[in-house]
Amino acid sequence: MASQRVMIKLITATLQTGTLSQPSSHQGECPQAVEVAYLLGFGANDPILMPTVQGLNKLRNQIAHTFELDRKALDEILRLYNEDYETFSVKDDRDRIKYLRWICRFICGRVAGEMLGA
């Protein structure tokens, strides 16, 4: 139970800014933290949550290392959270940001719920 709280706090720290930024004391540990959190039950009842967190982490790494954004990969993440997967589309980057903020807030809410329920 204590280890689960530690993992949830680590994940919460990575999501506080609305992106998957890694705290300086945990550089390079985010993928492992996500895997351990899943093994401890985080996202076990939501088939979309873990692929989304992993996809956002890949995009964060891509931006951090190349200063480029794979809009198709981001659009796929956004599409997963839309009720109509087949016809979902974004108009522009402003639309992408709006949906991305919504998803990040949703994930933060899920993390807070996991912490309060633990």
* The predicted structure's pLDDT at residue 18: 45
Work out the pLDDT band at 48, boundaries 50, 70, 90.
Answer: confident
Rounded alpha-carbon distances, angstroms, from residue 26 to 53, 69, 76? 17, 24, 28
CA 59 and chain centroid, separation: 10
- For residues 54 and 10, the model is more confident at 54
Please determine, for residue 94, whether its predicted confidence score (pLDDT) is greater than 90. Answer: yes
- Name the residue with tokens 């993992």: 7
pTM above 0.85, yes or no: no
Rounded Cα gap, residues 74 and 88, in angstroms: 13
**11 in Cβ contact with 34 (< 8 Å):** yes
Of 19 and 115, the structure prediction assigns the larger pLDDT to 115
Question: Is the pLDDT score of 23 beyond 50?
Answer: no
- Please give the helix or strand (H or E) that residue 83 lies within, else none: none
